[in-house]
Amino acid sequence: QSQELSQVQIDYHAALQALVEEGTRMVCTGRMHTDRICRFESLCYSTEAEEFVFFHSNSSIMLPSLGSRRFQPALLDLSSVEDHNTQYFNFVELPVAALKFMPKPVFVPDVALIMNRFNPDNLMHVFHDDLIPIFYTMQQFPDLDLESRLFFMEGWNEGLHFDLYKALTNKQPLLKEQLKTLGRLLCFTKSYVGLSKITTWYQYGFVQPQGPKANILVSGNEIRQFTKFMMEKLNVTLEENFGEDYIVLFSRTINRLILNEAELILALAQEFQMKTITVSLEDHSFVDIIRLISNASMLVSMHGAQLVMSLFLPRGATVVELFPYAINPEHYTPYKTLATLPGMDLQYVAWQNAEEDNTVTYPDRHWDQGGITHLDKMEQERIMQSKEVPRHLCCRNPEWLFRVYQDTKVDISSLIQMIRQTVKSKPGSKKQKWVNGLYPGKVRDAKCQASVQGANEAKLSVSWQIPWNLKYLKVRDVKYEVWIQEQGENTYMPYILSYQNHTFSENIKPFATYLVWIRCIFNKNFLGPFADVLMCST
Ligand code: UDP
């Protein structure tokens, strides 16, 4: 294993001297443990104590300097899941003098990104919590390039999808367990600790029932930049027979099954006049799945982690998510939120099994596969009678597990009807032009001129120039919004105008002062900033 690290040569004595003289140096971004990422020089890790070590010297830096607030509750989150108490990062402190009595340090020459994967066996978690956040954390810090190395500290083995993680940099990621084989005291020459949460769109329900994050900051553009990178790294070559439209049914083969899959495939093919193909994680390689999905017109699947693969769909495609009986689609929206991110340009359809006769339950299974026989009889009875799982917290709610692991016979006509309500013409029509929304700048040189007509009448003439960026753009529809507010009043009169000047006379009084706010709007939806407020006295 240790030859792994020797690809970059370092001068051992220089590295040791730097550690002894400079100690550990840390500078972080972020104001709270939940948005913090730290950059370290000479951060060490004791594989025996399983603790990170900060060595103090006269030249050490520790910013932020939190004192014991560093433990309230932690310096930072090591995974992208917000404030999860099993994912905290901290270090213990020692003076550099203690090195004399410690194992000889082994230096890690690669720039390191040190983090936790959250749930590496679940595909939704792999993409949402790990791969996309790692990719964008690397974009944030230029020395986290393709020659940097990932260190997964959560303690899992490689997991089912390690190949995906391996695509992120040119160096093999290392697991916590493997660090022991490298030495007793590891010192990372240069490292970043923590993951950016800026791209995550979903919270899993640890403190409140699951749902979209309150303040989503990612758009389809960034998702697609990520998928483009992954497809290049994984050598996904696009389908040759482009032009032919087809539907992909992403099937589960172990649980949460579609019981009439053959019938469903035939019905979809017939209804939409398209070839319909089935893929599953069990029967297809990732490269094949991505190749097929990235050119599909529609992706149909049971609710479940495999649906995260819709991030590889082309613009204009349709996602159809099927929910088992008693599972309200509105309450479980990781894939809906993804499909409807601004700029993802996917259509989304949720279908729920409304017929109890069409569901198959598994009360006798192990609890984590939805079994309920470990519960008392009354509770089992209540769950069996219930027609909808009430909102709940993650992750072991037995009623939720019981219902979400049901198999379903899909009612074909109600499903087709649902899809038809959303997809009016041909699904996935790639001909549609997707307007890439740009926003106007401020209007310029705004002026107003007042005239008093009499004791009760006055006019306000307002004019302005187009935003600076408009002269370089072709914009279909340019409008201006003007708000007129009498000074001291809480309300204002809004106007939408097509020209760059207007004379207002209704509700304009003589000898009053008005505040005039003006902004430009492109294509109805792209609202620009207001220019500095104008003060106009009549
Ligand atoms: N999985 C699968 N086929 C199955 C059942 C599960 O490929 O028949 C995958 C699933 O996509 C996910 C992982 O196994 O990546 C864990 O599935 P689980 O049912 O625990 O989670 P969920 O899909 O509900 O998020």
- The rounded Å distance from CA 325 to ligand 1 centre is 18
Tell me the per-residue pLDDT of 241-278, one tens digit each, with 9 for 90 and over: 667 999 999 999 999 999 999 999 999 999 999 999 99
CB neighbour class for 176 (10 Å; exposed up to 12, middle 13-18, buried from 19): middle
Q: Which of 466, 465, 471, 470 is nearest to 445 (CA)?
A: 465
Sequence letter at residue 390: P
H-helix or E-strand spanning residue 162 = helix 162-166
Tell me the per-residue pLDDT of 170-180, one tens digit each, with 9 for 90 and over: 999 999 999 99
Tell me the per-residue pLDDT of 87-119, one tens digit each, with 9 for 90 and over: 999 999 999 999 999 999 999 999 999 999 999
Contact (CB, 8 A) for 428 and 435: no
> What is the C-alpha separation between 18 and 31, in angstroms, rounded?
29
> What is the C-alpha separation between 191 and 208, in angstroms, rounded?
34
**pLDDT at res. 79:** 98
ipTM: 0.99
pLDDT band at 428 (very low <50, low <70, confident <90, very high): confident
Q: State which ligand 1 atom lies nearest to the alpha carbon of 256.
A: 8
- The rounded Å distance from CA 405 to ligand 1 centre is 10
Mutate to test the pocket of ligand 1, among 129, 204, 281 (most ligand atoms within 8 A of CB): 281
Share of the chain above pLDDT 90, in %: 93
Take residue 402 and report the two structure tokens written for it: 């019981």
Take residue 215 and report the two structure tokens written for it: 């303040």
> Residue 67 above 90 pLDDT?
yes
> What is the C-alpha separation between 4 and 174, in angstroms, rounded?
10
With vertex at residue 185, the alpha carbon angle to CA 179 and CA 189, rounded to the nearest 5 degrees, is 85
Contact (CB, 8 A) for 446 and 463: yes
> What is the C-alpha separation between 52 and 49, in angstroms, rounded?
9
Whole-number CA gyration radius for the chain: 29
Take residue 8 and report the two structure tokens written for it: 């970059």
Tell me the per-residue pLDDT of 494-520, one tens digit each, with 9 for 90 and over: 999 999 999 999 999 999 999 999 999
> What is the C-alpha separation between 56 and 502, in angstroms, rounded?
67
**Is residue 304 lining ligand 1, measured as CB closer than 6 Å?**
yes
**Is residue 124 lining ligand 1, measured as CB closer than 6 Å?**
yes
Residue 203: which region, alpha, beta or left (left: phi > 0; alpha: psi -120 to 50)?
beta
Q: Which of 334, 310, 339 is nearest to 323 (CA)?
A: 334
On average, the pLDDT of the chain sits at: 95
**Number of neighbours of residue 260 by Cβ within 10 angstroms:** 16
> What is the C-alpha separation between 78 and 194, in angstroms, rounded?
5
Q: Which of 324, 397, 340, 308 is nearest to 130 (CA)?
A: 308
Tell me the per-residue pLDDT of 264-321, one tens digit each, with 9 for 90 and over: 999 999 999 999 999 999 999 999 999 999 999 999 999 999 999 999 999 999 999 9
Residue 499: which region, alpha, beta or left (left: phi > 0; alpha: psi -120 to 50)?
beta
- The rounded Å distance from CA 124 to ligand 1 centre is 9
> What is the C-alpha separation between 71 and 360, in angstroms, rounded?
48
**Is residue 252 lining ligand 1, measured as CB closer than 6 Å?**
yes
223: Cβ–Cβ under 8 A, 6 or more apart, which residues?
132, 199, 311, 338, 341, 344
H-helix or E-strand spanning residue 360 = strand 359-360
- The rounded Å distance from CA 76 to ligand 1 centre is 30
3-state SS class at 288: helix
* C-alpha distances out from residue 387 to 326, 328, 349, 353, 400, Å: 5, 10, 22, 11, 12
Residues in the chain: 538
Q: State which ligand 1 atom lies nearest to the alpha carbon of 306.
A: 11
Q: State which ligand 1 atom lies nearest to the alpha carbon of 123.
A: 15
CB neighbour class for 424 (10 Å; exposed up to 12, middle 13-18, buried from 19): exposed
String of b and e for 339-365 (b: at least 16 CB within 10 Å)?
A: bbbebbbbbbbbbbbeeeebbebbeeb
Which amino acid residue places its CA nearest to atom 17 of ligand 1?
Answer: 122
pLDDT band at 453 (very low <50, low <70, confident <90, very high): confident
**Is residue 305 lining ligand 1, measured as CB closer than 6 Å?**
yes
3-state SS class at 513: strand
**pLDDT at res. 1:** 44
**Is residue 253 lining ligand 1, measured as CB closer than 6 Å?**
yes
**Is residue 281 lining ligand 1, measured as CB closer than 6 Å?**
yes
String of b and e for 399-416 (b: at least 16 CB within 10 Å)?
A: bbbbbbbbbbbbbbeebb
> What is the C-alpha separation between 347 and 298, in angstroms, rounded?
9
> What is the C-alpha separation between 53 and 110, in angstroms, rounded?
18
- The rounded Å distance from CA 84 to ligand 1 centre is 22
**Number of neighbours of residue 28 by Cβ within 10 angstroms:** 21
pLDDT band at 2 (very low <50, low <70, confident <90, very high): very low
Mutate to test the pocket of ligand 1, among 118, 119, 123 (most ligand atoms within 8 A of CB): 123
> Residue 6 above 60 pLDDT?
no
**Is residue 306 lining ligand 1, measured as CB closer than 6 Å?**
yes
